[in-house]
Structure formats: C-alpha cells, structure tokens
Structure 1
Amino acid sequence: MTTTVTAGVLEVPDARLHYEVRGAGPTLVLVGAPMDATAFAPIADLMSRDFRVVTTDPRGIRRSRLTDPDQDSTPELRADDLSRLLTHLDAGPAAVFGSSGGAVTALALVQAHPEQVHTLIAHEPPVEEMLEDRDRRHANTEDVIATYLSGDVLGAWQKFFTYAGIELPEGALEYMFGRERDAQSVADERYWFAHELRGTDRFRPDIAALRASGARLIVGIGAESTGQSCDLTSRALAAELGIEPTIFPGDHTGFADDPDGFAPRLRAVLSGE
C-alpha cells in the first residue's frame, strides 16, 4: 500500500520546522531528538493505517533550519515547537510517542501544554537527573562532548556507547561513523553533540506537573535494553510517577530497527491493551 505523505514547513521562533503528515483518524505524533522524520518514516507508514501520524525534523536537524545555527536546542524549545505545530494542524489533544531525546521533548510538552496531549508514551528517555549518580553521568556527557569537539569522532561515539551501556558488534562503530558520510549527516551529528545532548541529558521532569496533567502516562522500555543507561533512567521515572514500565520489542531503537514488529505493540498500548 502506498502511503501519501504531506510535507510542510512551519515558521516558529528562530527556526523553520519541517513536518510530515500521513493517514487519517486520531492524531499520533512520533517524536525524536536528534532522530528526524526520515527515521520514523517506516513505522509512520504502518501506523497511518489507523492514525493521522505527524512527524518532524527537530529544530537544528536536517530540514528544520535555525536562524542562528549555534543556538542550543533544549527540551523546552522543542516542546514549544511541537505545541505550535499541533495548534497549526488543529491536532490536539493528541497521542504522543517520543523516543530517547524525543521522549524528553514529549515530557516537556505535557508539562507546558497538558491540554494538547491525552496520551504520552515516553520511550527510553535519558533523564539522568532521575538517578542518584547523576553528577558522574553528567561528567561523562561533558567528556563525550569535549572528545567530539576535539575532532575525535570515533572516540566520542565509543565513549557515548560505553557510558550508555550499549555493546556494539565488532567493527560496527567504524562502519557507522568511520566511513565517508554525507555532509548533512555530519552536520546533524555535530549539532547534536555541540548544542543538543547536554540540555537533553540535564532535563529534570516535573513529576507533580506530569501527574496533574490529566494525560495517560506510559514509560516504555525496550525488551533488549536491560541494564543500559536508558533502561535505568526509564525505570527511575516510572517509579517516581508510580507506574510500571511498559515493555516494547527490541532495544533503544526498536521502532526503527523492526517497525513491523514494533507497530502491533504500539497499537495495543495506545488502545489500552
């Protein structure tokens, strides 16, 4: 089945936000950071059979250009962008699935604009502020950023995956980041390290505001993420919210690695099963 994709650009403060809409029905927003709309396209196509699916390139990434390319990206700014987009599309209240940094964006959205979200699925948010060893973890993030900005790209990625508790197959790091890559991918990577990673990792959810939002709150964890950093942060967040984590197929990027396997679980969770 061919999926019709309608792309648009929304002017937001200091940026032009690229977005895409698929399907019809209740609105489902798929949010990443730094993952862009392209990374969500396969699962967006699948979910568009039942939902009006909205995806975006977060500010500073790919087609969402900034007025000032050196402006930092914070969860609050990205949440404001999403709020403006939902208003522009007359799409709220919506269900929002955010993964990784996108889950942090979604948490910030619910805190600031609870009227626009009826269901939040925060899939593996890296909310390191929830952990007792937050200071050590923040120091690790600073080490990763400094290593990247020194020009040691492979060294930065190696540290990132080590600190995150993610084991890569032998040779995978060099395959992913050691080969010649297109200029846009490199630019997005640099923006993430230099202007996005720090603000995302240091975001502290407002538990009282989340509880008072009225939204159905779900914290998702990949079945294969046990022991990884985002497994720990997600479990800490769920505990603070007084809910049990919801398990999804795969690991941190299960929705992108196996969208056919992930979509049925996402549908079931959205329907309350």
Structure 2
Amino acid sequence: MTSTHTHTLERDGALLAYDVHDPAGPLAPDPGRPPLLLVGSPMSAEGFTSLRAHFPDRVVVTYDPRGAGRSTLDPAVTATTPQDHAADVAAVLDALGLAQVQAFGSSGGAVNLLALVTARPELVSTLVAHEPPMAAFLPDRELWLEVNTELGATYRREGFGPATAAFITYVSIQGPITAEHLAAPAPDPAAFGLGTDDDGTRRDPLFGLNNASCVPYEPDLEALRAAPTRVLVACGVESRQGFTGRAAAGLAEAMGSELVVFPSHHAGFLGGEFGQQGEPEAFAARLREVLEGSAADQGQPEPV
C-alpha cells in the first residue's frame, strides 16, 4: 500500500508543502524507474489525487505551488514567475536527494517545468508539458496578451467573481480570438454561479500572483533543444482548439516535435476533484505509455 509523507521547505518568502507517495517504504529511487513528479499551477497537489492513484508502482512527488493550497507566501511577495516556481521545484527535488525524475506538468505547471528544464535540465529525464497557457507561439498572441492584462486588471478592480467569469468566457473560445471577443460586454458572474461580493483580498494564485508572468512567458527553445531532457508537448483531444490546446500545438511546432494527444480535456486527469470530471484512468494509461517511450512521440493529431 502506498504511504504518503508530507514535508515542508522554507524558500525565499514561501513555505512549500510537498508530498512523497511511496509504494515501497523509504524513498529509494530506482534508476530504471525514476520518481514521477506531478506539477500543476495554480492547482495544488490535491488535483492529482486520481491520477497518482493509477501509478501505485511508482514513487510520486506532488507539491503545492507557493501561495496555493498548503503552501504559504509572505504578504510582501505580490507576484510569482515561472522561474520562481522552477526554483521551488528544484529545491524540493534537492531536499529529497533526487538526482532525476520524470515529470508531468499541466497548465501553469507545464510552464514552470519548462522553466525548470531550462535552468536545471539534469533534474528531468522526460517532461510531458500538458497544455501550457503561453501565448508566445500563437498567431493571435497579441490579443491573448491583451486579454491576460485585462483579466489582471479586472481582478484588481472588481475581485475574484468578475475576473473568473471573464476567464471562463475567454478560455471557452474555440479557435483564434478576435477583436470582437474583446469588445463584447463583460459576462455576468451569476451566469457561472459566481458571486460579486468582494472581500478585498487580492492573493488569488491565478489572478493575483501568476497572471502577469505565466501567459507572456517565452521559453528558451534553444536551451530546451540542447537539454538532455526528452520534452514532449501534449494537449487533450477535446481541448485542442481552445487557448491552451492551441498553445501546446504552437509550442510543439516551434520545437519541431509532434504534438502528443491525451484523452479528454484540459483537466482530463481529474476524477471529480474541484467538481471537474475527466478520464483519469485513460489519461494515466496514456501518460504511462508516453513515459515508457512506446508510441510516445506519435501524437496522431486529428484534422483541424
């Protein structure tokens, strides 16, 4: 039976909480099957509960990014960057004495792990970057950067409900975004079951901390290509025409690699966490296949 050991680590104004899920007692990395690191952002480790359950034969490491879940952040710190998160992940792996892991990063976690491979490539043998929300390689990048700026402004001006309603509206768009989308009236938070009460706090991990740096992040392609890490870019079969799916396709093309297609959608590994349902069993089977190298680079994209 898998045992879970929770640890904390102080890091530059943050107290990071991280977990080692160990099927075999004390942590003892096997060179033939390195630990599996699962990273989301702003999602906490809780979101990987279903996915990690499908890897009972692996040591799995999860953590809460700074300012999210159980990981706290000094109030004086008002923003975080992919480089900050990458340094945190590296510090966690160093604290565990792990020389190398295989890694799966989803959403902002994929962005942060791309930054990690750029800075510390020796730590990651294989990276699966699932739907990184980066505008850099999209033909409509300038409009998405404008959207990102406006989301941050809406959050600072009106709070969580209005910003979240706008966020859901934009990420639900299929295909390129247009000036008409930006000119549309602001959505009603009530239409999404969201309130408009504003408690005055501005520490939300997505809008308050990560917003300004995640979407505009531009990975160093030369460093990624030169790294010993096997970098695979992935998207969900159902979300490939949304912002994050298109961003993944743009990154894969820029890197000259195939886009790896996973079952389900952006949150396809969830099994009810946060009220969202994907296909965690099929998702885990695909991830295992990719990590083990069988058909890993055969994305088989559908016609678009």
TM norm. shorter chain > 0.5: yes
Task: Note the C-alpha offset of 1:149.
Answer: 2.1
Question: How does the TM-score come out when normalised to structure 2?
Answer: 0.80
Contact between 2:87 and 2:116, CA under 8 Å: does it hold in 1?
Answer: yes
Question: How does the TM-score come out when normalised to structure 1?
Answer: 0.89
Contact between 1:30 and 1:55, CA under 8 Å: does it hold in 2?
Answer: yes
What is the count of residue pairs matched by the alignment? 263
1:9 aligns to what SS in structure 2? strand
**Are 2:115 and 1:108 equivalent residues in the alignment?**
yes
Q: Map of 1:55-94 to 2, 5 A cutoff?
A: 55-68=62-75, 70-94=77-101
2:240 to 217, 220, 226: 226
Task: Note the C-alpha offset of 1:191.
Answer: 3.3
Aligned to 1:174: 192
Task: Note the C-alpha offset of 1:136.
Answer: 1.4
1:127 aligns to what SS in structure 2? coil
1:119 to 115, 121, 126: 126
Task: Note the C-alpha offset of 1:152.
Answer: 5.1
Aligned to 2:300: none
Aligned to 1:39: 47
2:16 aligns to what SS in structure 1? strand
Question: Residues 272, 143 of structure 1: CA spacing in aligned structure 2 closer, same or farther, 3 A cutoff?
Answer: same
Q: Which segment drifts farther, 144-153 or 112-121? A: 144-153
Letter in 2 for 1:53: V
Task: Note the C-alpha offset of 1:150.
Answer: 2.1
Cα deviation digits, residues 176-213 of structure 1 (max 9, x gap)? x3499xx9xx9797232022122111110100000000
Task: Note the C-alpha offset of 1:251.
Answer: 0.5
RMSD: 2.3
Q: Which segment drifts farther, 36-45 or 65-74? A: 65-74
Gaps of 5+ in 2: 24-29, 175-188, 271-277, 295-304
Question: Residues 216, 187 of structure 1: CA spacing in aligned structure 2 closer, same or farther, 3 A cutoff?
Answer: farther
For 1:188 and 1:220, how far apart are their aligned partners in 2?
32
For 1:240 and 1:37, how far apart are their aligned partners in 2?
30
For 1:265 and 1:187, how far apart are their aligned partners in 2?
40
For 1:92 and 1:3, how far apart are their aligned partners in 2?
22
1:17 aligns to what SS in structure 2? strand
Question: Residues 104, 172 of structure 1: CA spacing in aligned structure 2 closer, same or farther, 3 A cutoff?
Answer: farther
Letter in 2 for 1:38: E
Question: Residues 270, 161 of structure 1: CA spacing in aligned structure 2 closer, same or farther, 3 A cutoff?
Answer: same
Contact between 2:11 and 2:88, CA under 8 Å: does it hold in 1?
Answer: yes
For 1:235 and 1:250, how far apart are their aligned partners in 2?
16
Aligned residues with identical type, % of pairs = 38
Larger Rg computed on CA atoms: 2
Question: Residues 173, 224 of structure 1: CA spacing in aligned structure 2 closer, same or farther, 3 A cutoff?
Answer: farther
Gaps of 5+ in 1: none
Aligned to 1:165: 172
1:130 aligns to what SS in structure 2? coil
Cα deviation digits, residues 30-63 of structure 1 (max 9, x gap)? 001000011112212222x121100000001121
Question: Residues 179, 150 of structure 1: CA spacing in aligned structure 2 closer, same or farther, 3 A cutoff?
Answer: closer
Structure with greater helix share of residues = 1
Question: Residues 149, 188 of structure 1: CA spacing in aligned structure 2 closer, same or farther, 3 A cutoff?
Answer: closer
Aligned to 1:238: 252
Aligned to 2:266: 252
Contact between 2:155 and 2:202, CA under 8 Å: does it hold in 1?
Answer: no
Question: Residues 119, 188 of structure 1: CA spacing in aligned structure 2 closer, same or farther, 3 A cutoff?
Answer: farther
Task: Note the C-alpha offset of 1:153.
Answer: 3.5
Contact between 1:154 and 1:173, CA under 8 Å: does it hold in 2?
Answer: no
